[in-house]
């Protein structure tokens, strides 16, 4: 079973916390014991053990002025030029990772993707498998102006989310704002390069504008149905249907608050399980009429407290359990393959150059 995780924050955690992606998550936790840091949930060996063949790996930068910034998020930007430099450091982290690790490769073309997936045949041992990293810009602040995106394309960015927080291009979730004129210019440039557009974090109005105007392929890499938690960060039924009408795909997150509507911050970890994640997937499938628009975008390493992720999830090495949970719920093998990997691979292939 090929698994695609449509959102992990690998380089951001390396930049902010000095974390080594090649080290088991439990080892990182042991090294950081006693420090006031969010627990490590993911790593290359954890991901490989779980069967995660492809990761959409983010570039995220945060402003020094952000009021919700946490104490451990000390690497921040003041100017657009600073944002660009911080994102370049993260992108270089992925490039160095691929250069130094035989079982890591950047996905720049369809040929790259094919070379990675062939290592995931049943007869291959885990040690012989390669994980593909697709670089995704989560918030377009590092793009100094729309035409400058060509530089990021050449460096390896293949997915762009205009908003993480609100940017000069796009209003973020929680606001009544929309795409700016500069944002429309950015979408035009991204479409000209056939970039996969990520609607995650955008305001409701901005998402609807992008759905109506963007000619290329669309995803919401990590966004849950608002049905389970009425938060502007999540997608309304109307937006989910609109995304499906454009053959888009949404990756369901692992965050407990978004998986169970009566969850409270004081609840124990066991109160939410991976079955609640399947509930969210099933809701999207029922709403859109097929299994073609749901996927997994775990966001598992976004700085959550340990109890804020499902009780049967200790690290990303347990994400293989999703296959079992989907099959137990009655999803066919074919639909399970679509949800865990095929849907996101379909959108990725639509936008990658041949080779």
Half-sphere exposure of 17 (CA within 13 A, CB side): 24
What are the structure tokens assigned to 75, written together?
A: 């690497």
Q: For 209-231, how does the pLDDT look when each residue is reduced to its tens digit (9 = 90+)?
A: 999 999 999 999 999 999 999 99
Q: For 25-42, how does the pLDDT look when each residue is reduced to its tens digit (9 = 90+)?
A: 999 999 999 999 999 999
Question: Residue 1's pLDDT is what?
Answer: 86
Whole-angstrom distance, CA of residue 104 vs CA of residue 132: 6
Question: Residue 122's pLDDT is what?
Answer: 87
Domain spans of the chain, in order of start: 3-351
**Cα 36 from chain centroid (whole Å):** 25
Query: What count of residues does the chain have?
Result: 355
According to DSSP, residue 339 is labeled I
Closest CA to 57 of 104, 120, 127, 102: 104
Helix axes 204-213, 181-192, angle to 10 degrees: 40
- Give the chain's residues under pLDDT 50: none
What are the structure tokens assigned to 193, written together?
A: 């390069």
Question: Residue 304's pLDDT is what?
Answer: 95
pTM of the model: 0.97
Question: Residue 176's pLDDT is what?
Answer: 87
Whole-angstrom distance, CA of residue 315 vs CA of residue 36: 19
The residue whose two tokens read 């390896």 is 156
Whole-angstrom distance, CA of residue 156 vs CA of residue 16: 22
Whole-angstrom distance, CA of residue 331 vs CA of residue 284: 13
List the end-to-end C-alpha distance of the chain, in Å, as a whole number: 25
Are the C-beta atoms of 215 and 175 separated by less than 8 Å? no
* DSSP symbols for 291-330: SSSEEE---TTSS--GGGS-TT-SSGGGTTHHHHHHHHTT
Question: Residue 177's pLDDT is what?
Answer: 93
Question: Residue 117's pLDDT is what?
Answer: 97
Q: Which fold has domain 3-351?
A: TIM Barrel (3.20.20)
Exposed, middle or buried by CB within 10 Å (0-12, 13-18, 19+), for 237? middle
Whole-angstrom distance, CA of residue 262 vs CA of residue 274: 16
Closest CA to 309 of 18, 33, 40: 40
Whole-angstrom distance, CA of residue 234 vs CA of residue 174: 10
Distances (CA, A) of 28 to 13, 40, 127, 129, 274: 12, 6, 21, 23, 24
């Amino acid at each position: 079973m090929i698994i695609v995780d449509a959102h992990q924050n690998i380089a951001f955690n390396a930049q902010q916390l000095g974390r080594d992606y090649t080290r088991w998550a439990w080892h990182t936790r042991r090294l950081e014991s006693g420090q006031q840091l969010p627990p490590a949930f993911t790593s290359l060996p954890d991901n490989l053990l779980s069967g995660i063949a492809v990761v959409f790996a983010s570039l995220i930068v945060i402003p020094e002025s952000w009021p919700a910034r946490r104490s451990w998020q000390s690497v921040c930007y003041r100017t657009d030029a600073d944002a660009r430099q911080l994102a370049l450091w993260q992108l270089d982290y992925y490039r160095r990772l691929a250069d130094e690790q035989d079982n890591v490769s950047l996905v720049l073309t369809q040929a790259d993707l094919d070379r990675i997936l062939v290592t995931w045949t049943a007869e291959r041992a885990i040690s012989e498998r390669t994980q593909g990293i697709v670089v995704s810009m989560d918030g377009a602040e590092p793009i100094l102006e729309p035409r400058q995106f060509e530089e990021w394309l050449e460096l390896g960015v293949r997915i762009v989310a205009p908003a993480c927080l609100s940017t000069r291009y796009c209003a973020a979730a929680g606001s009544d704002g929309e795409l700016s004129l500069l944002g429309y210019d950015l979408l035009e440039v991204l479409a000209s390069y056939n970039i996969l557009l990520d609607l995650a974090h955008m305001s409701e109005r901005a998402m609807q504008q992008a759905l109506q105007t963007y000619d290329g392929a669309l995803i919401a890499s990590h966004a849950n149905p608002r049905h389970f938690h009425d938060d502007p960060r999540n997608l309304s039924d109307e937006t989910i249907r609109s995304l499906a009408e454009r053959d888009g795909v949404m990756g369901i997150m692992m965050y407990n608050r978004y998986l169970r509507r009566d969850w409270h911050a004081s609840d124990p970890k066991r109160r939410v399980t991976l079955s609640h994640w399947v509930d969210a997937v099933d809701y999207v499938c029922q709403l859109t009429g097929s299994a073609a628009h749901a996927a997994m975008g775990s966001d598992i390493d976004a700085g959550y407290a340990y109890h804020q992720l499902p009780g049967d999830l200790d690290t990303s090495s347990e994400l293989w359990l999703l296959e079992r949970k989907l099959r137990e719920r009655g999803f066919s093998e074919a639909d399970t393959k679509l949800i865990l990997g095929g849907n996101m691979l379909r959108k990725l292939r639509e936008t990658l150059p041949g080779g």
